[in-house]
Structure 1
Amino acid sequence: MITVEAYKNLVREVLKRDLDQNPAQRDGISHEGNDVLMLASGPGSGKTTVLVLRALRHVLVDGILPEQILITTFTKKAAKELRTRWLDWGTTLLNNLSTVPDFQELINQIDLNRCRIDTLDSISQQALTENRLPGQLAPVLAEGAASKLLLKRISFSTVYSAHQAELDQLFAAYTFEGDPPRNRGEALSVAKTICERLIQDLVDLESFGSVSSAHQYVVDILTTYRDRLRETNLFDFALLELQLLERLRDRTLHEWSNGISALLIDEYQDTNPLQEAIYFEIISGSSPLVTVVGDDDQSMYRFRGGSVELFTQFGERCRVATGRQTQRIDMIANYRSSGEIVGFYNSHISGDPGFNSARILPPKPEVDSQRSLVGMPVLGLFRPSPTDLAVSLASWLEQLFANRSLILSNGGESYELNVPTAGDLGDCVLLAHSVEEIKYKYNRQQRVGDTEARFTGHFRSAMHQHNLQVFNPRGRALRTIMSVQQLLGLLLLCLDPDGTLVDQVFPTNEARFFLDEWRIVANRLINQNPQPSDMGGLRHFVARWQNVSRGNYDIAFPPDWPVLELIFKLIAWMPNFQNDPEHQVWLEAITRTVSSAGIASPYGMKILQNSLHCNLSRQSLIRDALLPIAEDEVEVDEDIMPSVPRNHLQLMTIHQAKGLEFPLVIVDVGSHFTRNHPKQAFRRFPRSPANVVVMEDHVEPHLAAPLRGSRTPLDRSFDDLVRLYYVAYSRAQSVLMLVGCESCLKYGTGANLSGAIPNIALGWHRDETWPWRQPYTGRQRPIRVESPLLLI
C-alpha cells in the first residue's frame, strides 16, 4: 500500500490533477476514519472525479480489492461514465506503479474489472442471481413497457373495468391538471406510478387500503400483480429492490453484504426510502467505508419516487439507523460555467427567501466559478407568440452558425459571440419542461382526433426552413408519427388483412381510431410502390403475408416467424428507419415494445402458421404490442443513441439533461405562457400542490415514520420548480439563453399590475414579489421589466 500523500502525488504526476489546488476535492479523497463521508457537490464541481479517485484510493491506500467496492449511481449512462473513468484512471495508475518492484505482487492481485459499478436495480439483480437460495431460479427483470403490460394484463384491466368511476376519481388527484384520466393508457400510467410509490416508500398497504374503496382497489391491483410476478420469478425494478431488502433483512444475503468493504453512492438526493433502507442495511451489516455524494439543490426526480429529504436529513437518519456519524464536505468550486452564468444561477437558487429553509443545514456556500467572468452575459430572446419565438430563434441560430460570429448589443454595450472552428449545432441544446411538439386530443363523442402545435413543433419547422436539423424523438407520441403509422399499419395489413382479429381483442374506441388510421396510411404507402420494387415490391410482400394469415399454408414460410424479423423485412421499403437518427430511436421503441410483450405472451411474439394457433399468435401481437402503442402507453428512449449527429440540435427535457453540459444552452422558460392561465400554473407558479406532492401526502400517514412534514405541499411544489431551473441553468458552459413569450416580462395591468404572469424561472418569489420589476414614477408604467438578461 501507499500513503495518502504518495497517492495524491501519484495522481498529480500521472493523471495531471493537483488535488491540493482544490481543498474540497483533496479533503474528500483524503478523508480518514469511520465517519460516513457526505459530499454536497454543487454543479460542475467534479463529483465524478472525486468519486472515482476516492474509490481508487480505497484500493491503493486502504488495501481494499476492487471486488469489495460497490459504487451505485442513478442512471445507466452515469454508471457507464463512472466505469469508463475507473478503468481508464485505474489502469494508468497501476501501470505506473508496476515499474516499482515492491508493488508487483499487489498489482497482480488487483482486477479493476471486478469492481461493481452500476445502478441499484442492476446491482440487485446481480446479487439475487449470484446468491440464489436452494431451488430458486435467477430473477427475470421485466423493464418499463414489459412491467406495464404485465400490470395491465394481470390485475389492472380487471379491477379498472369493474370500478372505473371510483378509480378515476382517485386518479384525478395524480394527473397534471387534476382531471380524470383521458383514456385507459393514462389511467394505467397513474396506477403504475401509485403502485411503484407504495413499494418505494415502504407504505403499510393495509393502512393505505383502509382509506377508501378506491384505495383498496389500488392495493388489490398491486398485491395481485406482485404475487403473480413472484410466482413466475418476474420482477420490475421496484420489486427487485424490495426483494433485495427482504433478503438483507432475513440475513440470507449476509455473505454478499459482508463482501462490501467500501460503499460509494452517487446522486443520493434522488434516493427513495426503499433504496435508503437497502443502503442502511448494508452499512449496519458489514460496516464498510461509506461515501455519499449529492446535491439537494439538484434533486429533481420526485416524480420517480426520489425524496430529497433523505439527503437534507441524511446525518440524523444515518445515525439513528446505523449508529454512524457523518462528516460533510461542501464542493463549491465550479469548473464548468462562466462567472456570469454561475452568478445568474446562484441568484436564482438563493433569491427566493421561501426556498432557503428547504436546503440542507448548515447552509452551503455559493458556487464559485473557477473561470471567472468571460464577457458574455446571460441572454434573453422573447417574442409575442410561440410561432414568432420559434422563427426568431431559428433565424438567430442560422446566423450564428453561418457567420460563425454575432455581435450582440443592447443599449450602449456590445458583445461578440464566436463559434469555435469545430463548433456545430451539436454543441447546443434546447431545454424545456416539456419537448412535446404536438398536443394530440381525441374527441370521444365524435371519435376524431385534433392536433395543436406547440413551440417545439413550430421550432422544428422553422429550423428546417433554414436547412438546420433538430433531434427530438420524444416530441411526438409514437402513434401519431406518419412513418411509425406506416410501419405499424403494414404489420396490421400483413397479419390481420380483414380486420377481424382487431375486433377480437376489444380495443377502446381511441385505440381503434389509430389502428384504422395506421391501415389507411400503410395502404397509401403500398400504392406509392416504394423502392425496391423488384419481385413485386412491397405490394407482393404484403399480399403473401395476407395469404398466410388467412390460413393458407405457404411452404416458403417457416412454421413460426418472429415478429421482429417481419419488422426488419418491412423497413427495407422505409429508408428513414435505416439512416435517420430519430427514426432509429422510434424503431427501438417499437422493437422494445414487441420484445417486452414477448415476456407476457404465450407465443413469445412469434407468428405461427399452424391453423390452431395462426390467429391466436396474431391476436397476441395486436393485443400485447400494438394496442399499447395505440393507447399511448409507450415512451421512447433516446439514450440508446451513443451520440447525436454533430449537425443536429438536441431538444431535451430538463430532467434528461441532468449530469450533462453544453457550450450553448437555450432554456425555454415561457413559450407556453401568453396569459396567466390557471391550467399552466403548475409549470411556472403553482396555485395548488403538484400531483406528485399530493401523492406523497396521501401515503405519508401510512409510513413507518414521518418523512416530508417539514414543508407544506405547496412549498414542495415551488421547491421543485426552483431546483428544476437551477439544473437547467447550470448545464451551460459559455452561453446561457432564456427564451419565451414577451408577455412573461410585462409589468401587467391595473393599479396593482395584476395581469403579469408569475414565473419562478424568471425571478419571481413565491410571495408574488418580483425583484426584476423595478418601481417607477409617473402615470406611464414601463412596458417590460428591466431583466438581468441581455435581450436580443
Structure 2
Amino acid sequence: MISWDEYQLLARELLKRSIGREDNPAQHEAIKAPVRESQFLVAGPGSGKTTVMVLKILKYVYVDNIHPHTILATTFTRKAASELNSRIINWGNKIRDALLEEARNQDQHHHLEGLKLDQIRTGTLDSLAQELLGHPRVLEEQATRSILMQKLIRDDVHRHPDLLNYLKLMGNQQGTLSLTGMCDLLLELKDRIYHDLVDVSDYQEKIEHPGARLALECLEEYQKELVKGQLYDFARLESALLEELNTGEVDLADLKVVLVDEYQDTNLLQESIYFHLAKKAVGNGGNITVVGDDDQSLYRFRGATVDLFTQYQNRIRRELDVEARVIHLSQNYRSTPQIVDFCNAFLEVDQDYQFARVTSKPDIKATRTGKGHYPVLGLFRRDRKTLARDLSRFINQALYGEGYHIEDLTIKLDKKDSSILMASPLEYTPHSARRFPHYLRHFLEEEGLEVYNPRGESLERAPATELLAGLLLECLDPDKSVENSLARLPSKARSNFHQWRKTARKGIILEEVRTEWKGIPELHLLELWYDLLSYTPEEDVVENLRVEALTRTIEQATHFSRFQGRVIPGEEESIQEVYWNLLIPLATGAIEVDEMLLNQQPAPPNRVNIMSIHQAKGLEFPLVVVDVGSDYSRIHRSHAYKRFPLDGDRASHLEDELRAYSPLGEPVRTTRDRAFDDLIRQYYVAFSRPQDLLLLIGLSPVKDGYRVDKERVYIPNVATGWDREARWPWRGLGNLFLI
C-alpha cells in the first residue's frame, strides 16, 4: 500500500516515533522485517517493546498489505492486551486518516475506508482459547479454590496425615499447613500436570508416597466436578484448545502473523499451542515473533519454564524447521544511567546465574537524557518504626515538599506516583503481628499522604467484608441452625463467622434488611448482595476493590452451585450452598484481591503505592523504593527462602516431582540454583522499575551485620548483592548513597 520510507515518515510525524536505523538499529530491524521472517526479540526493561509490537503490526497492514484478520497477538495480562489493542487502533487510525487525505485513486480510498483494525486478534492466550472454543464457562482462581475446598472438608481428607505430609514435602514447608495452603498446593500440582504435559498414568504407576495418590484422587474428584458442570479452569481451557488444534477442529486457515509477548513466562502446554499457530502462519507465508526477557521471568511458581525462552531458537528449529532471527532490544528509554548501571551490575554479581541466561546477551544501555540523574540511594535503620518514619519523611519532602537535602545533594522529584515494592505487602503476619507496611502506612498518613495497598489486609479481616458477610449470615441463617449443622467446619471459619455476626449486629442496618427480605419465598444471592451493598457506607477505592472480589466470587459460584445462586428460606441445602461456595472459602482465606482484578483496576493517582514486585511487573514510576530487608534483623531459617535459599522452593520441588514424566525431562539446574535464579530475576524486575530514582531500604543489620558474642555476623541476601557461594562483592553496600 505504501513504501517503508513513507511508513517511517508517518511514524515520525504522526506518532512521534523515530524508527530509522540511525535512531535504534535493533528496533529498526525488528519493525522492518519482511513478512516471512520469524523473530526472537529479547527485550530488556524499558526498551519500548510495546511500541515495537504495535509498529510491527501496523507495518504488516500498511506496507505489506496483510489483512488485519490474519494477525494474532497475545499478551500475558488482560490489561496489557487492552493497552496493545488500544494503541494499535489509535495509531493505526491516525495513519489511515492521513493516507485517506492523500489517497492516490478511488481503489486505494475504498481499501482504506474498509480497513478494520479491530479485526486484529489481541488478547491473552486464555481469552483466545475462549473465543476459539465457543466461549465456554471458565472459573477464576477463587472459584476453583472453593470447589476443591468443599471436597477436602466434606470428605474429611484435609486432615489425612499422608496428604498433609506429601503437600508439606512438595511445598518445602515446615510447621502447620492451612486449609487454603493445601488447596493452593493441590491446584499448583494440577496446573503443573497440565502445563508440563505430564503422563499422569506413568506417574501414578511409579509414585510411592501414599499422600501423592491421595492428592491425585482429590484432583480427579475436582476434575469430575468441572466436567459435570461443563466448566473449565484456565489449565483445562488451554488443554482443550491444544486438543482441538491437534484434531484440526479449530479454523485458522487464514492465519499469517503470530506475535507473542512475555514469552519468558510460557509453559510447555502453551508452547505447544503457539507452535501449532506458528506452523499454520509460516505455512501461509507468514511468521511467528516472540518477545520477552529471561531476566524478567517471574512466574515459575505458576508453571512457567524459562528454558523454553532461553532455548527458543533451538526448539522452534527442531519442531518446525523455522529459523528465528534473534534481535536484542537493549536500549533503555525508562531509567537514568545510574539506575541502568546498577541493574547491569546486579545481574553480574552471581557468576553461576550467567548459565541460566540467553547466551551472548548484551547489557542494557541508558538512552534517556535530561536532568535529575541521582545516585542509587540506601536507607537503613535499626528498627521498623524508625525506618517507616524516615522513609515517609523522605517521600513527602522529595515529592511534595521543597526537596530532600543531604550533604551537597538535593533530591526533588515531580509530584507523581511513587511505588514501594516488597516481597509481600501484607500489613500483618498470620498471627496478627504488625509488619513494616503497617508502620509505613501509619507514618505516610501522618505526613498527609494517601496510601494505596489493596493487598495489605487479608480480605476476611477487611471492614467491608466483616459487615457484608455478617449481614449475609444474619439474613440467611439468623439462628445459626444451618451453620451448626455443618460437619467438620474449620475452626478459623467458625471464629470469623462469630466476628462477622458481631459486626453486623452493631449497626441499625440489620433490622432494615431483615424487614425488607422477610417473607420472600425465593431470592437470588446476587440480588440480596447488591441490596446489602446499598446499605453499606461509601468506601474508598481499596474497599471497593475488595467488595468487587467478593461480588465476582458470588457470580462465579452460580456456575457450579446446584441451586444456581438461588436461596430458598427454610430450604437448608440452598443456604448450605452459600456457606460452601462463599462464606467458608472467605473465612479461611481462600478469597483475595488477586492480580487479575488488580490489573483491571488502575491505581488511583497521587497515592503512594505499596505493592508486591509481581504486581509491579510491566509498570514504571518516577520513584521506586525496594524493600530489601525490613523483615531481617537476624539470620533465621524461616525467611531464608526470601533472601538466600538453603534449598529449593515449592516450584522447584514440584518440578523435581513431575518433570521425569514430562517431555521436558528432568531440570538441568539444581533445585537450589533455580530458587536463586528466581530471586535474582525478582529483584532485577524491582530495580528496573524506576524512571528517576531508586531507593533500597531495610534494617541496619542487612547492611552492617550484627554481633553474636564478639563476632560480627552478616545476613546473606541476594537483594543486597550476595552470590550463591555466600560471597558479598557489595559488602557494606558502599555502592549506595546512604541517607
TM bin (shorter chain): over 0.9
Q: Which residue of structure 1 lines up, in the alignment, with residue 213 of structure 2?
A: 216
Q: 1:108 to 1:707 in 2, by over 3 A?
A: farther
Q: Which residue of structure 2 lines up, in the alignment, with residue 161 of structure 1?
A: 157
Letter in 2 for 1:766: R
Q: Which residue of structure 2 lines up, in the alignment, with residue 676 of structure 1?
A: 635
The answer as to 2:699 corresponding to 1:741 is yes
* Distance across 2 between alignment mates of 1:752 and 1:257: 71
* Distance across 2 between alignment mates of 1:497 and 1:457: 35
The offset of 1:691, in angstroms, is: 1.2
Q: Which residue of structure 2 lines up, in the alignment, with residue 628 of structure 1?
A: 585
* Distance across 2 between alignment mates of 1:741 and 1:10: 53
Q: Which residue of structure 2 lines up, in the alignment, with residue 782 of structure 1?
A: none
The offset of 1:101, in angstroms, is: 2.6
Q: 1:640 to 1:766 in 2, by over 3 A?
A: closer
* Distance across 1 between alignment mates of 2:391 and 2:40: 42
Number of paired residues? 726
> Which residues of 2 match residues 390-409 of structure 1 at below 5 A?
390-409=388-407
2:559 is aligned, of 581, 589, 599, to 599
2:271 is aligned, of 261, 268, 276, to 276
* Distance across 2 between alignment mates of 1:481 and 1:201: 37
Letter in 1 for 2:445: H
Q: Which moved more, 1:104-113 or 1:561-570?
A: 561-570
Contact persistence 2:69–2:121 (CA under 8 A): yes
2:443 is aligned, of 441, 462, 466, to 462
Q: Which residue of structure 2 lines up, in the alignment, with residue 170 of structure 1?
A: 166
Deviations 1:420-477 (A, max 9, x none): 3xx14xx101111111111123xxxxxxxxx111100111122222232211111111
The offset of 1:598, in angstroms, is: 1.5
* 1:77 counterpart SS class: helix
* Distance across 2 between alignment mates of 1:657 and 1:31: 32
Q: Which residue of structure 2 lines up, in the alignment, with residue 551 of structure 1?
A: none
* Distance across 1 between alignment mates of 2:7 and 2:722: 48
The answer as to 2:252 corresponding to 1:257 is yes
Contact persistence 2:257–2:281 (CA under 8 A): no
Q: Which residue of structure 2 lines up, in the alignment, with residue 534 of structure 1?
A: none
The answer as to 2:645 corresponding to 1:651 is no
Q: 1:754 to 1:211 in 2, by over 3 A?
A: farther
Q: 1:181 to 1:70 in 2, by over 3 A?
A: farther
Q: 1:717 to 1:367 in 2, by over 3 A?
A: farther
Please list every run of 5 or more consecutive structure 2 residues that lacks an aligned counterpart in the other structure: none
Contact persistence 2:196–2:663 (CA under 8 A): no
Q: 1:405 to 1:172 in 2, by over 3 A?
A: same
* Distance across 1 between alignment mates of 2:363 and 2:373: 24
Letter in 2 for 1:279: Y
* Distance across 2 between alignment mates of 1:574 and 1:163: 38
* Distance across 1 between alignment mates of 2:371 and 2:658: 47
The answer as to 2:513 corresponding to 1:510 is no
Letter in 2 for 1:308: V
Letter in 2 for 1:484: T
Q: Which moved more, 1:587-596 or 1:37-46?
A: 587-596
Letter in 2 for 1:415: L
Contact persistence 1:494–1:545 (CA under 8 A): no
Q: Which residue of structure 2 lines up, in the alignment, with residue 495 of structure 1?
A: 476
1:566 is aligned, of 528, 532, 538, to 528
* 1:467 counterpart SS class: coil
Contact persistence 2:74–2:261 (CA under 8 A): yes
> Which residues of 2 match residues 580-599 of structure 1 at below 5 A?
580-599=540-559
Contact persistence 2:35–2:64 (CA under 8 A): no
Q: Which residue of structure 2 lines up, in the alignment, with residue 108 of structure 1?
A: 113
The offset of 1:689, in angstroms, is: 0.8
* Distance across 2 between alignment mates of 1:516 and 1:649: 34
Contact persistence 2:129–2:238 (CA under 8 A): yes
The answer as to 2:436 corresponding to 1:436 is no
Letter in 2 for 1:71: A
Letter in 1 for 2:181: E
Contact persistence 1:670–1:744 (CA under 8 A): yes
Q: Which residue of structure 2 lines up, in the alignment, with residue 73 of structure 1?
A: 75
* Distance across 2 between alignment mates of 1:367 and 1:587: 44
Contact persistence 1:38–1:326 (CA under 8 A): yes
Contact persistence 1:405–1:417 (CA under 8 A): yes
* Distance across 2 between alignment mates of 1:323 and 1:226: 37
Letter in 2 for 1:619: Q
Q: 1:751 to 1:37 in 2, by over 3 A?
A: farther
* Distance across 2 between alignment mates of 1:543 and 1:35: 67
The offset of 1:681, in angstroms, is: 0.7
The offset of 1:562, in angstroms, is: 2.6
The answer as to 2:9 corresponding to 1:19 is no
* 2:564 counterpart SS class: coil
Contact persistence 2:198–2:661 (CA under 8 A): yes
* Distance across 2 between alignment mates of 1:766 and 1:373: 37
* 1:98 counterpart SS class: helix
Deviations 1:579-628 (A, max 9, x none): 4011101101111121122212122223334x5x3x33222112211110
Q: Identity of aligned pairs, percent?
A: 34
Q: Which residue of structure 2 lines up, in the alignment, with residue 418 of structure 1?
A: 412
The answer as to 2:484 corresponding to 1:522 is no
2:136 is aligned, of 139, 146, 157, to 139
* 1:64 counterpart SS class: coil
Contact persistence 2:258–2:281 (CA under 8 A): no
* 2:301 counterpart SS class: helix
* Distance across 2 between alignment mates of 1:45 and 1:81: 17
* Distance across 1 between alignment mates of 2:652 and 2:80: 27
Q: 1:236 to 1:162 in 2, by over 3 A?
A: closer
> Which residues of 2 match residues 754-773 of structure 1 at below 5 A?
755-773=713-731
* 1:739 counterpart SS class: strand
Q: Which moved more, 1:725-734 or 1:179-188?
A: 179-188
Please list every run of 5 or more consecutive structure 1 residues that lacks an aligned counterpart in the other structure: 130-137, 442-450, 530-537, 549-553, 774-784
1:365 is aligned, of 363, 366, 389, to 363
The answer as to 2:102 corresponding to 1:120 is no
Contact persistence 1:375–1:415 (CA under 8 A): no
Letter in 2 for 1:633: A
* 1:377 counterpart SS class: coil
CA RMSD of aligned residues (A): 2.1
The offset of 1:487, in angstroms, is: 1.9
* Distance across 2 between alignment mates of 1:178 and 1:754: 30
Deviations 1:133-158 (A, max 9, x none): xxxxx5211122122223344x5446
Contact persistence 1:199–1:274 (CA under 8 A): yes
* Distance across 2 between alignment mates of 1:786 and 1:350: 16
* 2:628 counterpart SS class: strand
TM-score (ref. length: structure 2): 0.94
Q: Which residue of structure 1 lines up, in the alignment, with residue 655 of structure 2?
A: 696
* Distance across 1 between alignment mates of 2:14 and 2:642: 48
Q: 1:381 to 1:632 in 2, by over 3 A?
A: same
* Structure 1 residue runs of 4 or more that deviate by more than 4 Å after TM superposition: 155-160, 747-754
